[in-house]
Amino acid sequence: MSGGLLVAGTTSDAGKSVVTAGICRWLVRQGVTVAPFKAQNMSLNSFVTREGAEIGRAQAMQAQACRIEPTALMNPVLLKPGGERSSQVVLLGKPVGELSARGYHGGRQQKLLGTVLDCLAELRGTYDAVICEGAGSPAEINLRRTDIVNMGIARNARLPVLVVGDIDRGGVFASFFGTVALLSPEDQEFVAGFLVNKFRGDVSLLEPGLDMLHGLTGRRTYGVLPFRHGLGIDEEDGMAVSLRSTVRESHVAPPVGQDVLRVAVCAIPLMSNFTDVDALAAEPGVVVRFVDRPEELADADLVVVPGTRGTVRALQWLRERGLADALVSRAADGRPVLGVCGGFQILGEHIEDDVESRAGQVDGLGVLPVRVRFAREKTLTRPVGEALGEHVEGYEIHHGVADVTGGETFLDGCRVGAVWGTHWHGSLESDGFRRAFLREVAAAAGRRFVPAPGTSFAALREEQLDRLGDLIEEHADTDALWRLIESGAPQGLPFIPPGAPA
């Protein structure tokens, strides 16, 4: 049997996805064949595999860290929130229905455990190691009975557990201790130790606390990862992005031309695949920010209306905020607007939705000659084509079927003046197409902006993944980590009271 590890966290956003990717990249650089795995993911940021399966983008990114193609096995259960209390359930890459949180945790989740374990077993039979990512915290005592992503899978698959804590938030020692102490004796047997994430300062000042934590729990710390800027990856939750910040804290080269391009992204409800604009943010001289007020569009050279899990709800939000009128005015003035997926649908003439919102026919913004009808079957494809004289690749995830009745052809959508619309996510990652598109935007906006000729988004992503691997290699005890992956949790780990409530 191959080796395995479950990377859990004291909280959501503790750094599980980053650590998992870093361990994967470190292992593959050692000649180990490795695959990522997350039993259950809740995310609106998803991806389509080559076989047409929808999985979380974090697992697709982790597969890239492993230098392998992502598959549905790596994320068998994906939950896509459609409101405060319900989500679409995607099983093995295909939607199987909508469930309330109560309905899912009330029985459906536990029934999926067999499927999840089968997927993990298939991966472990194929690769030398499988690095699993947990969700939230393993100490969610209200959800432990039906858990299939943290200790539920660790115990069933006999995986050692490494608990990651974000020290930048404060309280990391209490979080580590409390996480273990709220687990049952049976669960605690699999918690091997800890990994500190986002540390700033002198590690020697931290070491006395790590020694005390070892004394209190009998569990060692496998590494202290320093805080690093610019390590943002494909997050699971669009709300992790501040509405008034740049997309990434990375250091980008100065602009090639005399002007910069300012891109405003409408922060619509249930925003999905907001990573579409990452390729723009990686361009020297392109400034990207998320906005939620009409006046914030005034100085933008390009406005992006992104994808959403709730097209009709997002359209209503745009109207309530005054952003809809601002978008229509921009289109009339010949100022650039790009709609992607749900954003493309919003820019059309009308939407007929008896599937997602069940609102029936709703008027769109009417700036593109497009009529959209929502189908029950979801489109999940990896299209390849040409636009603006350049090769383009992308992926599609949508229920809406667009009937384009005019304008110039643009990918699967259309263009009218300086307004573009398409269902293709990820198209801006195609370097030649992105540069051609930005030249069009600059001309329409009257900016003396010149795209940098050598920017490769794929190369930048590889550099980023290598930096994650470097973090693990340089700041974790990799010998001890490999023993953990190969042999499992140490025997005889002490029980820390009080344990999980009966």
Q: Are 338 and 300 in contact (CB under 8 A)?
A: no
Q: Are 343 and 305 in contact (CB under 8 A)?
A: yes
DSSP of 253-285, one letter per residue? Answer: PPPSSSS-EEEEEE--TTEE-GGGGHHHHTSTT
DSSP of 202-236, one letter per residue? Answer: -GGGTHHHHHHHHHHHS-EEEEEEEP-TT-----S
Closest among 275, 415, 422 to 345, alpha carbons compared: 422
DSSP of 457-483, one letter per residue? Answer: HHHHHHHHHHHHHHHHHHHB-HHHHHH
Closest among 468, 467, 473, 460 to 428, alpha carbons compared: 460
Catalytic residue among 132, 341, 399, 475, which?
Answer: 341
**What's the rounded Cα separation, in Å, for the pair 27 and 409?**
45
In the residue annotation, 341 being an active-site residue is answered as yes
**What's the rounded Cα separation, in Å, for the pair 344 and 90?**
23
In the residue annotation, 414 being an active-site residue is answered as no
Neighbour-count burial for 16-26, b at 16+ CB within 10 Å, e otherwise: bbbbbbbbbbb
**What's the rounded Cα separation, in Å, for the pair 474 and 489?**
23
Count of H helices and E strands in the chain?
A: 16, 27
- Dmax of the chain from CA atoms? 71
Question: Letter for the amino acid at 441?
Answer: V
**What's the rounded Cα separation, in Å, for the pair 184 and 191?**
11
**What's the rounded Cα separation, in Å, for the pair 164 and 19?**
8
Q: Which helix (H) or strand (E) holds 57?
A: helix 57-65
**What's the rounded Cα separation, in Å, for the pair 163 and 173?**
12
What is residue 424's three-state secondary structure? coil
Which residues are part of the catalytic machinery? 341, 425
